Amino acid sequence: SRWGVNDGTGVEYYLPSSKVADAFVSYKMKFENRDITLQLNLKNMFDERYYVSSSGLGSPAIVIGEPRQLIGRVKLDF
């Protein structure tokens, strides 16, 4: 959790703490004598609403973290 103060008004604000879980799974194999890696990444697994930063300069600004994302990746070594 974080406390902040708006420098312009002196008003205090509070950002609650949060936990964000990420996970990935990968699989390596050969394809036509080349190494291939398949990977899936799951970011913010439980779709938690969280805050990555805040600022109290002038007017308060709060940056909200990204929602759940599923990202696929294929890597071919040659």
Q: What percent of the chain has pLDDT above 70?
A: 81
> From CA 52, how far away is CA 69, in angstroms rounded?
16
State the pLDDT at residue 43. Answer: 98
Could you tell me the pTM of the whole model?
A: 0.70
| Sheet-wide strand order for 69-76 | 23-31, 34-43, 69-76
Which segments of the chain have a pLDDT < 50? Answer: none
Question: Of 14, 9, 38, 11, which is closest to residue 24 (Cα–Cα)?
Answer: 38
The answer to whether 23 and 46 are in contact (CB under 8 A) is no
Taking only the tens place, the pLDDT of each residue in 42-62 is 999 999 999 887 776 666 678
34: left (phi over 0), alpha (psi -120 to 50) or beta: beta
The answer to whether 64 and 49 are in contact (CB under 8 A) is yes
